[in-house]
Amino acid sequence: MTATRLLDQNRPDLMFSVDGVAVPAKQGDTLLTAMLTAGLGHVRTSEFGDGGRAGFCWMGACQDCWVVVAGKGVRRACTTLVEPGIEVIRR
Amino acid sequence: MKVVVVGAGPAGIRAVEQLVRAGVTPIWIEEGADGGGRITQRPPAGFSRSHAALYGADAGRAKRLHATLDALKARVDWRPDTLVWNIRPDAKVLHILANGAAQDEVAYGALILCTGAMDRVLPLPGWNLPGATTLGGAQVALKSQGVGVGANPVLIGTGPLLWLTALQYAKAGAKPAAVLDTTDFLTKARFGAGMLWNVPTLLRGMGLYAQLKLRGVKLHEDITPLAIEGVDNVTAVHWRDAAWKEHVTPCDAVAMGWGLKPEAQLADLAGVPFDYDATQQNWVPRKDAAGRSPMAGVYLAGDGAGIGGVDVAELGGARAALALLADAKLPSDMALSKHLDGRLRTERRFRAALEQAFPYPARLAARMEDSTSVCRCEVITAGELRAAAAADAPELNRAKAFSRIGMGRCQGRLCGTPAAAVLARALQVEVPEVGRLRGQPPVKPVPLQQVG
């Protein structure tokens, strides 16, 4: 899934990492927005064998966008704001 | 008396406003980093769109709600980033998790639950693919992040949110590949007269429809969605039109939603009984017209207490707070209560017409193929659910024990409605007869070391 930046994107750039690879983002992005606009395609892999997942509800209800944030543990990508230098691990 | 309000959307804001007016200082708990709700959701710091650009026809409402919200924060015990994950009604205690890490308990004398709603979905083959989102999700992405879930999304579902989201995407520069409405024109027309109970909202809805047509967005009514196609990502939607002709519409995302369902898990844990509302095709927690639940000291308002929309949320939030104040023998504005009661009665008539004009297509859910996953969390198929029915599961909680439906990480939020339709058809009974998935703590996952 590739999310498209359409409006209100004049915000400071920053870098964070996903699975050890540097990824660009903008201040105010959620992890979900940052990962899907950067072309990563998915934010986790289903533990039931049906492939990648990229969230669904974008509002903290469906729990389909869990990622691991180093030092913080499991977080919902859709309700967690990106910060410079944070390390995200996809499961 | 310690009053706790859960939720800082339109209902919560108007409830807290009345409490503060009466000299009560509630604890006000909000799961998000800020309040505002969904219709009037605020982007994080750093975004700069104006209220007019963000909220369109709701800009005035958003401005008023946000101003009230901000003014109230300093006058109450404001707790953002805080999840209420359990309620123990016997002890009158809430279990909370602050900032995703800090566990605590909060005692309450009275409680107002304003917990909102989420999209109601119809499972389709391929809906687990990256690129599929809810309609509400597609709207949140645009409103709070300025991004589209795709550049050429197909929007499927029914209701005002379908048209509104499509128009917002078109205005933002995306090109919706198609807007696919499962409701036929006649059904909408038949209940249109009932929507005269709220003429401005009716006109807004008709305006949305007209603007989409003017912009050349392809609108199809009375359609049947067949499948979402793709390998690693959504690439097309397969659907059938009213004349039974099949189409494959290429797209890079799908946003889907058929009205809303209450996020009423906390009311459930608080011991409030639920009733099936046949008009809105939802189970709703029981309350009187003022928002009193049958549980002493527990009040309900907003979409979490039954879908009513943003007008009802604001009115109902204020009304529930006034009921709480009156019950506690505190100063309560009786004249305002009467006024709110009248407006809520009118809105209920409007809402009933709206729900009937844009029904949930339970017939499509009931007939989904055996291979379609009803549950996204654990990929449980309609076939597995039907097998549970055949193995003697006369209601949903029994089917849950047999098939794990509703046991996944979302706790049945998404699968509950379609699973009921599938099970009812398999058992040849009406949808309400299979019951509803009971709420379980934690209402959302909390770190394991936090439970216990």
Q: List chain B residues with pLDDT less than 70.
A: 448-452
pLDDT tens readout for residues A21-80: 999 999 999 999 999 999 999 999 999 999 999 999 999 999 999 999 999 999 999 999
Domains of chain B: 3-118+261-354 (3.50.50.60), 121-258 (3.50.50.60), 362-434 (1.10.10)
Phi and psi at residue B316, to the nearest 5° = -70, -35
On average, the pLDDT of chain B sits at: 95
pLDDT tens readout for residues B229-238: 999 999 999 9
Domains of chain A: 13-89 (3.10.20.740)
Distance CA A6, CA B138 (A): 13
Q: Residue written as tokens 């998404």?
A: B414
Q: Is A13 on the interface with B (CB under 8 A)?
A: no
**Which of B55, B99, B145 is best to mutate for the A interface (most A CBs within 10 A)?**
B145
Q: Which pLDDT value is given to residue B448? A: 64
Helix (H) / strand (E) element for B238: namely strand B234-240
- Chain A hits for B173, CB-CB cut-off 8 Å, are 6-7
Distance CA B452, CA B450 (A): 7
Estimate to the nearest angstrom the gap between the alpha carbon of A83 and the chain centroid: 11
pLDDT tens readout for residues A40-53: 999 999 999 999 99
Distance CA B168, CA B55 (A): 10
Q: Which pLDDT value is given to residue B449? A: 57
Here the ipTM equals: 0.97
Q: Which pLDDT value is given to residue B452? A: 44
Cβ within 8 Å of residue B1, ≥6 positions away:
B24, B109, B110, B328
Q: Is A72 on the interface with B (CB under 8 A)?
A: yes
Distance CA B284, CA B268 (A): 10
Nearest CA distance, B373 vs chain A (angstrom):
10
In the predicted structure, residue A11 carries a pLDDT above the cut 60? yes
* pLDDT cut 70: percent of chain B above it: 99
Cβ within 8 Å of residue A83, ≥6 positions away:
A14, A16
**Which of A63, A69, A76, A81 is best to mutate for the B interface (most B CBs within 10 A)?**
A63
pLDDT tens readout for residues B382-412: 999 999 999 988 999 999 999 999 999 999 9
- The pTM for the full model equals 0.97
